[in-house]
Copies of this chain bind each other. A is one copy, B any other.
């Protein structure tokens, strides 16, 4: 079981859910992906989950970032259309608020979806503990999806708007989709987008001699060098890399690019190639 939430680390929320999962499925190893998603930030949770799932193994993913808890939103379990691939998670459990679909899509798409019944308590519920944990444990035990609830049309599942990413032959406009602990700024643009915008040369990542400058415009304007790795940057210099998730990212060597640029998640940056010569 792979487990991601915005429960944080101060309260016992994540611990209680872990305990309930292991009560229902004592053999299931629970691997915490993170519980440090910003409270209520479904978008950040969905992006973290999408980054993580290509690397996890078989099992069930439980994700809860749930500003709508106690409201009308559905609780869902989804199976993954993976064909015969037994090396990836086969099911996802969580709220129907857009948190899950991107990650399921990255694995092959949603096969089937069911709505999990709400507990018939009158009081406020802790859905992670009272709904999702048991469903997760049952799916881990290979209980069929249909035993957990009534089928719902996958097309009715809530989906988040895609992060902004617009490319022209000499400009790339992209949303900051993640600022990590180290201040690296991941953009909603992939290597392919950067190539189309003329920011990196074709096949750049195999030929480091094609180094270029990029102009980065947001709340401030800065110049960045396209580099193959952090180590090529001089202290304080801003770099553009294809990061370990195949996204375009702005980085500094041992310093925070987010601080240099004054940006946070959700901001939009414009990148343009600077071809007029050396700095």
Contacts and interface: CB of A to CB of B under 8 A. Distances in A.
B52 A124 contact: no
Interface in A230-248: 230-231, 241-244, 246
Given A68-B231, A122-B205, A15 B52 contact: yes
Contacts of A19: 2, 31, 33, 52, 55-57
Contact of A36 (B10, B34, B124): B10
Nearest to A23: B57
Contacts of A242: 122-124
Contacts of A241: 123-124
B124 A16 contact: no
A170 interface: no
Contacts of A15: 2, 4, 31-34, 52
Contacts of A40: 182, 254
Interface string A115-126: 000000111111
Nearest to A71: B231
A262 interface: no
Contacts of A181: 7-8, 10-11, 13, 39
A201 B107 CA distance: 49
A87 interface: yes
A39 to B, nearest CB: 6
A242 B33 CA distance: 31
A264 interface: no
B4 A87 contact: no
A20 to B, nearest CB: 5
B230 A71 contact: yes
A20 B31 CA distance: 10
A261 interface: no
A35 interface: yes
A34 B11 CA distance: 6
23 contacts: A4-B12, A8-B36, A8-B181, A9-B34, A9-B36, A11-B48, A12-B33, A15-B32, A16-B33, A19-B52, A19-B57, A22-B57, A29-B29, A67-B254, A69-B229, A70-B230, A70-B231, A122-B204, A122-B205, A122-B206, A122-B228, A124-B244, A125-B244
